[in-house]
Amino acid sequence: MSVAPPSPKQISRQVSLRTVMLMTAVIAVWLAFAKNYQDNAMLAEQIEVMRPFSHELIVEDPDQIAIVHNDVRWRDEYGWKVYLPRGTYRLCLATREIGKDGQSPIIASAPIEAGARDVVVKQSKTPDGLWLLSVCVDNDQVMEATEPKEWCTELGWHSGPDYRVSSQLPANETAVIVRRRFSEWERSWVTTPDGPCNGYLLWIEPHH
């Protein structure tokens, strides 16, 4: 039994169907690529917006100090990621006469090595009511200070600088990590004094 060959119309219909299917596949791939490109661009923008909240230490200039605040772990425990370029430095602590700017009398200091470091300050109370302030570098305690009960009123404080976003500072100058000034009662109001007061000041300075 012989089979008649397909007519030109049947061949044209088959070719057209294959062409339509191929074009559909090409368009689908192109749309998927365009969608992925758009999604990636949107994600990149969102990442840039959220970067300040990631507390990522960014070192754009390796010859400068870089500091960024860590997430708060516990009440009265605060930490920073610090990068120090090649050089010799010391970490300094003051707990009295903390002004709005400038230096305060050093009560303790410790060497801190160049490189990436984790610096943590912990403030706690002893069983007999004294205040204990400890400073750790890479989980090792390097400094400790004990203050009387009246040193901290527990009425609040004012702190700075703001390192929620990674910041870089000159390596040959003093780099303040935290300046915390305790609030006091003044004429029935709680306020942070204009002049020097109790608190703590932690900074890094070149040491030769």
pTM score, two decimals?
A: 0.75
pLDDT (tens, 9 = 90+) of the chain, 208 residues, equals 554 555 555 445 555 677 777 778 778 888 877 777 776 766 656 555 555 556 789 999 999 999 999 877 666 789 999 999 999 999 999 999 999 999 999 999 999 999 999 999 999 999 999 999 999 999 999 999 999 999 998 888 888 898 989 999 999 999 999 999 999 887 778 888 889 999 999 999 998 7
pLDDT, mean over the chain: 85
Please, where are the H alpha helices in the chain? 8-50
Instruction: Please name the helix (run of DSSP H) or strand (run of DSSP E) that holds residue 98, with its range, or none.
Output: none
| CA–CA gap between residue 32 and residue 166 (Å, rounded) | 37
**What are the tens digits of pLDDT across the range 5-28?**
555 554 455 556 777 777 787 788
Are the CB atoms for 110 and 143 separated by under 8 Å?
Answer: yes
E strand spans, the chain: 64-69, 77-84, 89-94, 108-112, 115-125, 131-137, 140-147, 157-160, 167-170, 175-182, 184-186, 189-191, 199-206
Q: Quick check: bond before 105 cis, omega within 30?
A: no
Q: 83 forms bridges with which residues in the sheet?
A: 66, 116
| CA–CA gap between residue 170 and residue 205 (Å, rounded) | 10
Are the CB atoms for 204 and 177 separated by under 8 Å?
Answer: yes
Q: Give the end-to-end CA distance of the chain in Å, rounded to a whole number.
A: 105
- Comparing CA positions, the residue from 205, 200, 204 lying closest to residue 122 is 200
